[in-house]
Structure formats: C-alpha cells, structure tokens
Amino acid sequence: MIRAVPAIAAMAGYALAELDAPGAVSLAQNESAFAPSPKALQAGQKALADAALYPDPDWTALRAAIASVHQIPADQILCGAGSMELIGAIIRAFAGPSDTVLGTEFGYLFAATASQQAGASHLRAPEPSLVVSVDLLLAAVTPDTRIVFLCNPGNPSGTRILNADILRLRDGLRDDILLVVDQAYGEFDDQNPADVLGLVTRGNTVVLRTFSKAYALASARVGWGYFPPAVASETRKLLNPNNITGVSQAMAAAAMQDQPHMQGIVRQTAAIAAAFTGRLRASGYEVPDSHTNFVLIRFADGGAAKRADAALRSAGFMLRGMAGYGLPECLRATIGTEAAMDAVATVLEHLEGDTDAP
C-alpha cells in the first residue's frame, strides 16, 4: 500500500468555491468584474511568440516594474505563481513539525492549508466583530510560534486594521517571529502602502500582493512579495525555478505599468460596492465595512443564508458560502458589474425576515 507522509494523509485538500452551475455569474472567487489593462493583453499576445522558450527565471522586467511603482529594491522582490505559491513556500521554509503558524479567526483559509502541508500547527486568534485584534493576536503567541499570518484587508471579513496597528503588532512580536502581511486587497485600501512596506527593512516581515484582484489577472497566476534578503533567499529555494509563464510575466509587468487602469478598476468597484452595501443595509442586512472587492453579508442564521444562496442560484448568481470559515450565517459576494449587483440586491430585498435586523 502506498502511503503519503502522515501530515498529508491527515489533511483535506484546499476547498475552492463550488462553481457547479454552468451559465451562472460567479461572485464566489473575488475575481475582477472588469477586464485587465488592454496593455497587459497586448503584451501577453506579443509574449506568446516566445512560447518555445523557458520564461525568465528572475522575472527581471516584472520585478523592475513592481520596484519602480512601489519604490522598493527589485532584488528583494520574489514573484510566485499567484501569491498562494509564495504563501506555501514561506510557510514551508519557516515552519515545520512542532512549529505553529498563528493566524486570525476569519483569516485566509489557505494559510491553514499551507501550514498542514508543512506539517506545522495552525492556530487562530479571535476576531471579535470580524475585525483583527492586535492585542488578541499578541496574547495568542506561544514559544512555538514561528510565523504570524495577517491578512489586511481581511478575507472573508473585508475589514481592515490601521497600519499603525500593524506596526504595533510587529513591535509586540519577538524578533524571531516572521510576520507575513498578506495584502491581496491592498490596492482597494486607502492607507499609505509605504507604512507596511517599510517594516520589511527590519528583517522579519514580508508583505505579499497579487495581480489576481485589482489588476484583474487571476488566470495569469502572478503574485509578488517584498522580502528581507535572508528571508527571500530561503523562500526562493522552495519556488519552482520557472514558476511564472512568459506570457503571465509580460501581462503582469504591463499591468503594473498601467496604474491608471488599475486605479479605475478600484474606483468603479468601490462605487458599486457602496451602492450595493447601502441597499442591503437599508433592508436590514448587516454588512461590515469592506476595503476589498467583496462584501460579507450576514443573515439571521445558517438556514437563512442557505435559503438566500438557493434563491440567488436560481436567479443565476453564485456567492461563496462561509461555513468553512465558521460563519455559516454569512455569504460572501464578490463585487461584480453594476447590473449583477443590482440584481443580487433585488433578490435579497425580497427575502422576507431573513436579515440580521433586531
């Protein structure tokens, strides 16, 4: 009998959203409702001609574009096949059996999966009212803690803490604990990115970003991180040497250079999210303030959330159930087009008595 190593045999695979309804509009994976930059599409077309060649293993043009926009050194950037690849590599490099990765109650589930892949334990600090608490995170640190994984703004909560609180978190952690700040939705946040990027120079903080959300390139699979040099060189060993296709590198570099396009996506997404949230709150739903391209909708209970999900599916919309996050009474709605969100709001307005209103 062929057996996997115990940590792998004991774990479940990472559960992506169910996308089983052909023809339905997916609002389940936080994909952009808007198209990528036309310059990215053009660059990708052009790069197709070199498909016979291996891609640049050093992501040279892509790193140069990121470095110039974010004003950070290119040699401290690593690129991954999605930031998920970077999350997995960081956790495997710095946490093993008998080590603990500390996340938050409603933090990104993939960090837990990646910890299991590494044979490490994954613990969660409580998030009262769906917002990360720096004090409760610090209180949950133990001598086994090797990594603290913070998603800010958070998924699936959509909420965020202030950069000043992230600095306070770093100040309160032991120097030998690696702090990973996953900013997959950072472009949707209005805080100055330099505050958190600046922590990297202390040597024990990594900041992760992705092209999958605000840059509308989820299928290209490109994420990046800003690393202290010593953390970068260890993490690099765990990445596939030719991890990002030439087409994807070309698309991401061009998308990074087209900041106005990305900013337009962020602006339009925020406007649609505000209108959608306003309608839902007006009919009594509890919707936390979101700093992302999705909102979390809270129903009276798990049954009400299931009924809403069923009604939305029959109307052709797939949201993301949140039972996996311990929030069975919630659905997460990616912000789609204005027409899609109007239709979703209309369905929800007609579900009587299922809101969380007192």
Please report, as ranges, the residues that interact with ligand PLP according to CB under 6 A. 30, 82-84, 108, 151, 155, 182, 184, 210, 212-213, 218, 223
Q: Name the residue whose CB lies closest to ligand PLP.
A: 82
In the complex, the smallest distance separating the C-beta of residue 217 from ligand PLP, rounded to whole angstroms, is 9
Q: What angle do CA 308, 311, 317 make, to 5 degrees?
A: 95
Report in angstroms how near the CB of residue 175 gets to ligand PLP at its nearest: 25
- Closer by beta carbon to ligand PLP, 289 or else 356: 289
Query: Closest approach of Cβ 83 to ligand PLP, in Å?
Result: 4
Shortest Å distance, C-beta 353 to ligand PLP? 32
Residue identified by tokens 């600046």 is: 198
Shortest Å, Cβ 293 to ligand PLP: 9
Length of the chain: 358
* Residue (111 or 231) nearer to ligand PLP, CB: 111
Nearer to ligand PLP, 183 or 355 (CB): 183
Among 261, 292, 257, 260, CA closest to 276: 292
Q: Angle at CA 299, nearest 5°, toward 280 and 345? A: 30
> Exposure string (b/e) for 202-224, b if CB count within 10 Å is 16 or more?
eebbbbbbbbbbbbbbbebbbbb
User: Which H or E run contains 251?
Assistant: helix 246-257
User: In which region does residue 284 sit, left (phi positive, over 0), alpha (psi from -120 to 50) or beta (all else)?
Assistant: left
Show the tokens assigned to 9.
Answer: 């045999």
Name the amino acid, one letter, at 242: N
Decide if 111 contacts 101 (C-beta within 8 A).
yes
Q: Tell me the C-alpha distance between 122 and 103, whole Å.
A: 7
Residue 87 beta carbon to ligand PLP: minimum distance, rounded to whole angstroms: 7
Q: Min. distance of Cβ 29 from ligand PLP in angstroms?
A: 8
Output 82 or 336, the one with its CB closest to ligand PLP: 82
CB closer to ligand PLP, 223 vs 288 = 223
In what order do the strands lie in the sheet containing 294-298?
294-298, 330-334, 320-321
Give the C-alpha separation, 349 to 282, whole Å.
9
As measured in angstroms, the least distance from the Cβ of 282 to ligand PLP is 28
Q: For the CA atoms of the chain, what is the radius of gyration?
A: 20
Nearer residue to ligand PLP within complex by CB, 79 or 348: 79
Q: Which is nearer to ligand PLP, 273 or 300 (CB)?
A: 273
Question: CB of 74: closest distance to ligand PLP in angstroms?
Answer: 19
- Name the nearest CA neighbour of 291 among 317, 262, 270, 261: 270
Give the DSSP per-residue string, 20-47.
--TTPEE-SS---SSPPPHHHHHHHHHH
Between 37 and 210, CB nearer to ligand PLP: 210
Tokens of residue 305, six digits: 């959330």
- Residue whose CB is less far from ligand PLP, 220 or 300: 220
